[in-house]
Structure 1
Amino acid sequence: MKIYTITLPLIILAGCTSINVRPVSKIHNISHVCIENNPKVIVANFTTTIADVFQNHGITTKMYNAPVPNICEYKLTYTALRSWDLTPYLSHAELRLFKRNKKIGYAEYHITGGSMSLSLKKWASVKKKMSPVINKLLAQYKK
Structure 2
Amino acid sequence: MKHTVIIGAALVLAACTSVNVKPVNRSAAMKHVCIHLNPAVKVDDFVLVMEDGFQRHGISTETFADKAPENCRYQVEYTALRSWDFSPYLSHAEIRIVEGGMSVASATYHLNGKGGLDLGKWKGTKAKIDPVMDQLLAGIH
Deviations 1:56-92 (A, max 9, x none): 0000000101221232111000000000001100000
TM-score after normalising by structure 1: 0.91
- Length, aligned pairs only: 141
Corresponding letter in the other structure for 1:108: T
Runs of 4 or more above 6 Å deviation: none
Matches within 5 A, 1:115-134: 117-134=116-133
Q: Per the alignment, in what secondary structure is the counterpart of residue 27 of structure 2?
A: helix
Could you tell me how far apart the structure 1 residues matched to 2:10 and 2:26 are? 39
Instruction: Identify the residue that residue 76 of structure 1 maps to in structure 2.
Output: 76
Could you tell me how far apart the structure 2 residues matched to 1:25 and 1:3 are? 42
Could you tell me how far apart the structure 2 residues matched to 1:50 and 1:94 are? 11
> Is the contact between residue 21 and residue 107 of structure 1 (CA under 8 Å) also seen in structure 2?
yes
> Is the contact between residue 111 and residue 122 of structure 1 (CA under 8 Å) also seen in structure 2?
yes
Instruction: Identify the residue that residue 39 of structure 1 maps to in structure 2.
Output: 39
1:30 aligns with 2:30: yes
Residue 7 of structure 1 deviates from its aligned partner by 4.1
- The 1:26–1:14 alpha-carbon spacing in structure 2 relative to 1, beyond 3 Å, is closer
Q: Per the alignment, in what secondary structure is the counterpart of residue 83 of structure 1?
A: strand
Which runs of 5 or more residues in structure 2 are unaligned?
none
Which runs of 5 or more residues in structure 1 are unaligned?
none
Q: Per the alignment, in what secondary structure is the counterpart of residue 30 of structure 1?
A: coil
Could you tell me how far apart the structure 1 residues matched to 2:103 and 2:69 are? 17
Corresponding letter in the other structure for 2:137: L
- The 1:93–1:3 alpha-carbon spacing in structure 2 relative to 1, beyond 3 Å, is same
Q: Per the alignment, in what secondary structure is the counterpart of residue 27 of structure 1?
A: coil
Corresponding letter in the other structure for 2:62: K
Could you tell me how far apart the structure 1 residues matched to 2:105 and 2:71 are? 20
